[in-house]
Amino acid sequence: MTKVLSLNVNGFRAASRKGLVDWLLQETFDIVCLQEVKAEESQVDLTQIQQAGYHVLWNSAQKKGYSGVAIFSKEKPIRFNSDFDSNFDTHEGRLLFAQFSNFNLINVYMPSGSSGDQRQAFKLKWLERFNQHLKNILTENTIICGDFNIAHRSIDLHNPALSPKTPGTTPEERKYFDNMLEKGLIDSYRTTHADAIQYTWWSYRATAKQRNKGWRLDYQLISKQMKARIVSSQVLDTVEVSDHCPILLKLK
């Protein structure tokens, strides 16, 4: 069985101070996908991670303390890269692609758009480019993990009556999500929990976590041909090292 974990850590160093590395070392994951690491690889201590048998891939943003993604894997990747092409998102550290023996993996931290109209426009353009590239690289064995910064359906946020102009809920963003599924992907969590009320992110403000006023922003999409391999898809909402919680996919 293969265990694939995904988590937006909201700063690797901050999450480590809250027990992230200790928790990872207590568990038996095959692949760990992290988003929003907010650091360069040289700025963090990965000794324990590497001693535990993980190979490390790291893609940091040019802007200090911003964005960035990482993959820790027990299997050494056959090949990997940090961008779909030389012109795609080369400065914000939002992608890592890795090929393993049984599947291809994309770890993604999609833009938020919540800071203003300019960033929302960037997000929509980014999503368009991402979808264009997907059609060229999807195989029958592909996993896409990460923080999508999109609540795909009304069930995926605590207040579905929000304005349709709210970043993360706009019709345009949800359409891009639909387009990913139409290319032959399935939402592993919704495949096994069709109508579950479950979130993966809660604001630090107004005791949102305690009141479960959250959004489901983190996903593990897989090729539809892999559906029979799903053992379970879980949201680990009792693990509190970030404003997001981990999600875990187990595959045969």
Q: Which sequence positions are flagged as catalytic?
A: 147
3-state class (DSSP) for residue 81 = strand
Measure the CA angle with vertex 61, ends 55 and 67; round to 5°: 85
Token digits of residue 35? 């988003």
Do residues 192 and 143 make contact, with C-beta atoms less than 8 angstroms apart? Answer: no
- Contact between 102 and 141 under an 8 Å Cβ cutoff? The reply is yes
Count other Cβ atoms within 10 Å, centred on residue 73: 21
Residues 7, 250: Cα–Cα separation, whole Å: 15
Q: Are 113 and 74 in contact (CB under 8 A)?
A: no
Distance between terminal CA atoms of the chain?
5
